[in-house]
Amino acid sequence: MPPSPYQEIRDPIHVFVKLDDDELKVLNSAPVQRLRNIHQLAMSYLVYPGATHRRFEHSLGVMELAGQVFDVVTHEANLVDQVRDEIGGQLLKSDERLYWRKALRMAALCHDIGHLPFSHAAEESMLPEGWSHEHISARLILGEEMKSIWESMRPPLNALDVAKLAVGEAKMAKIHPETRYSTWESLLYEIIGSDTLGVDRMDYLLRDSLHIGVAYGRFDHHRLIDSMRMLPTHQGSPEPTLGITHGGIHTAEALLLARYSMFMQVYYHRTRLAYDCLLADFLKEWLPGGQFPDNISTLNRVTDNTVLQAIDDSAWSPQKPGHVPARRILHREHFRQLYRESPTDWKQVEDSQATNPAKLVYDACVNEFGTDNLRYVATTQNEPDLHFPVLDSDRRITPSTANSETLNRIPVARHGFVLIAPDLVDAAKEWLETQKTDIISSID
């Protein structure tokens, strides 16, 4: 029996992820291998001990799902006439189809290579102005090391094609303003990055749920992928987007409900957010000028390991930068919940069109307990576009919200917290108990 042309990698979500020899070169590149040392969920493992998974395995999962979706939506039997006419002849030639399938898979594998240590928790306000992790991903994909890999493939991949599919048109416009996307390229990016049906979201929900040990993020992704199609945005429209057949509507609902639940129960967990605050406090003191450098090569050598070593050093050395937040992280002296917004408080605030209740409470507490002892954390989920097209059995195309009452009722996840130093919790709660009514009612 001849040897397999693929390398098989075991995965707890997708069982096996297969890569050919060309794809293995990308997998083994320094930017992708670096993701082995970037936690998927920052310091969530201090709250959920199983949350030690990394961006590396997530990226493999996104690549696997991207290939599966591509195979379904480009299958000749699944193409509607309007889309076939709009995207032109790319799918009519097998070599063109294979080229774009590989470009999509490699874009999916590389979509997160620009993440800084501890992913999103370390990136906000600490990158050079105008930068994002997508900016770094695109620069790495277009860089000399990876460019030589793309050119060595047979057939060779165009580095710009991979970068465009990895980061999307909105981000690419800030990196390479002259870059233009065809309808076909925009569709392929949606497979990875769509806020509703993108495989990036699918994999992180399934993977985070598994490693954390909760059921909130689970849904029937096999059924959802089988139902996905490239469809006109609405009946008679020439503009195509990702949609589903009517048989997939319930699992699409399950995906979006899973996303909402994971944000409310996991991603916005008060202690997880408290560690994000401490990590940000440490980095602002530890990094020169409070920012990561604008040198891509230097950034690509910084991982969670680098930061954890620095935290350990600073925690035991009062004279080193970031000593106080480092000590709090190492000894679990994180800020505790003093106040959490309630629907009743929100209703009162919204009726008066004032600021959110957590900010009101925070401002009042600062006067009593001082800025250094308090943290205000307000988080709101990016609202997904729930209006995707649905293909009925009679070939009509209707909006998803016309097919599902559930989609019309999915709320946006949001939380607002006031956190306080642990040694002040009891005194602050006692004080707030007597003051909260006056604080909230002050908006009238």
- The pLDDT value recorded for residue 350 is 63
pLDDT, residue 177, reads: 87
CA pair distance 370, 366, nearest whole angstrom: 5
For 295-327, the pLDDT digits (tens) are 888 888 899 999 999 999 999 999 999 999 999
Could you tell me the two tokens for 424? 């002040």
How confident is the model at residue 239, as a pLDDT? 83
pLDDT at 42: 94
Indicate the average pLDDT of the chain. 91
Residue 1: the pLDDT is 54
Sorting pLDDT into bands at 50, 70 and 90, what band is 220? very high
Residue 108 vs residue 126, higher pLDDT = 108
- Across the range 192-217, mean pLDDT stands at 96
Is-cis flag, bond preceding 411, omega within 30?
no
371-413 pLDDT, tens digit per residue, is 999 999 988 888 777 889 999 988 899 999 999 999 999 988 8
* Of 417, 343, 434, nearest in space to 376 by CA: 417
Which of 365, 362, 363, 359 is CA-nearest to residue 346? 359
What domains can be seen in the chain, in order of their start residue?
7-262 (1.10.3210.10), 335-444 (3.30.70.1370)
pLDDT interval class at 414 (50, 70, 90): confident
Kindly calculate the radius of gyration of the chain based on its CA atoms and give it in whole angstroms: 24
In this structure, what are the phi and psi dihedrals at residue 281, rounded to the nearest 5 degrees? -60, -45
pLDDT of residue 353 exceeding 60: no
The pLDDT tens digits for 88-113 are 665 667 788 899 999 999 999 999 99
CB–CB of 201/221 below 8 Å? no
Give the list of residues 6+ apart from residue 53 with CB closer than 8 angstroms, or none: 39, 40, 41, 207, 208, 211
Cβ–Cβ under 8 Å, residues 15 and 281: no
Share of the chain above pLDDT 90, in %: 70
Inter-residue contact 104 to 188 (CB < 8 Å): yes
CB proximity list for 298: less than 8 A, separation 6 or greater: none
d(CA 4, CA 37): 29
Pairing of strands 240-245, 228-232: antiparallel
pLDDT of residue 124: 67
Residue of 98, 123, 161, 92 lying closest to 302 (CA atoms): 123
Write the single-letter amino acid at 389.
P
